[in-house]
Amino acid sequence: MVQTTCHAHKLKCKPEQFGEEVFDKIFDIARISKFTLEERLAYEADMRNERDQYAIRMTAMNEGVAIGEARGEARGEAKVLDLMAQGYNHEQIKDILKLS
């Protein structure tokens, strides 16, 4: 097995007995190490673009969650104020809204 991983860059595909993720990484590194300068620059640009797109999606998702939480909180506060205006006390409001 050590021989195979030392010469991984010479293999065209990963042997089936190396199914673990760590071996996937080793073979990816070996594959990338054979890139020409042009291929390596293109690969690095693709990786930067992929990381940027991931960061954009995560930022948008987190902002969406924050907006949703703020809207939910505002609606909850409005509901509490409405119930208080109707004359309900704190215990009744907790029961109505099923709060602990």
Taking only the tens place, the pLDDT of each residue in 39-51 is 999 999 999 999 9
Residue 11 has pLDDT above 80, yes or no: no
Confidence class for position 2, pLDDT limits 50, 70, 90: very low
Nearest alpha-carbon partner for 43 in 57, 33, 55, 54: 33
Residues near 49 by Cβ (< 8 Å), separated by ≥ 6? none
Q: Tell me, what's the pLDDT at 29?
A: 87
Give residue for tokens 């007995």.
Answer: 17
Residue 8 has pLDDT above 80, yes or no: no
pTM of the full structure: 0.55
Nearest alpha-carbon partner for 97 in 86, 55, 57: 86
Taking only the tens place, the pLDDT of each residue in 57-83 is 999 999 999 999 999 999 999 999 999
Structure token digits, residue 87: 């004359």
Structure token digits, residue 11: 């293999």
Q: d(Cα 35, Cα 45) in Å, to the nearest integer?
A: 14
